[in-house]
Amino acid sequence: MSLIERIESDLLDAMKTGSTEKVSVLRMLKSSIKNAEIESSDELTEGDILKILEKQAKQRKDSIALYVNGGRQDLAKKEEAELDIINLYLPEKLSREEVLKTVSGAIQETGASTMKDMGLVIKTVMEKVGDQTDGKTVSDIVKEKLA
């Protein structure tokens, strides 16, 4: 079952069970996917849909941070609940330790020793891990290792 089919199926189930929050999030995801499809005037691949979901998840994470800093725990909890629903459709991410091992291997592989080599190391790591982690995490770990 494709990702979009899974979202549509879960949307129907959520509507039947009366889960208004899940219905809202799944409709938003479906709408984002449809808008991207219209913009590209092509049918989206699974990879394209994953990128849309990751973008939506990142927006929720950013909102959570802003709401927490602003003292709005109620809104942060709402965003966290939406993020939990979106994460159901994203592939499992690598742990920090796994990314750390990959970064260490990439540093040895490229012979990097200074911050000037950071771009090369990040490129090497991202080629290996793909969508299993985000660039910010990789960047932070590379900075720690090369500093």
**pLDDT tens by residue, 9-33:** 999 999 999 999 999 999 999 999 9
pLDDT, position 111? 87
For the chain, the domain total comes to 2
The model's confidence at residue 116, banded by pLDDT at 50, 70 and 90, is confident
Residue 15: its pLDDT value, please? 95
Q: What distances in angstroms separate CA 25 from CA 12, 19, 85, 94, 139, one per listed residue?
A: 13, 10, 7, 25, 30
Distance CA 90, CA 119 (A): 26
Are residues 137 and 104 both part of a single domain?
Answer: yes
Distances from the Cα of 36 to the Cα of 45, 83, 85, 126, angstroms = 11, 20, 20, 24
Residues 12 and 81 in one domain: yes
Q: What is the pLDDT of residue 10?
A: 95
Pull the structure tokens for residue 100. 């750390």
**Per-residue pLDDT averaged across 104-123, rounded?**
87
Q: The domain containing residue 101 runs over which residues? A: 96-146
Q: Is residue 71 domain-shared with residue 131, that is, in the same domain?
A: no
**Helices then strands (H, E): number in the chain?**
7, 0
End residue of a domain, out of 87, 110, 131: 87
Q: What CATH number should be reported for the domain holding residue 39?
A: 1.10.1510.10
- Does the model's pTM come out above 0.75? no
Q: Do 70 and 115 sit in the same domain of this protein?
A: no
Rounded (10°) angle between helices 96-110 and 118-129: 130
Cα angle vertex 83, ends 16, 19, to 5°? 15
Asked if 57 and 116 sit in the same domain, the reply is no
Of 48, 67, 87, which residue sits at a domain end?
87
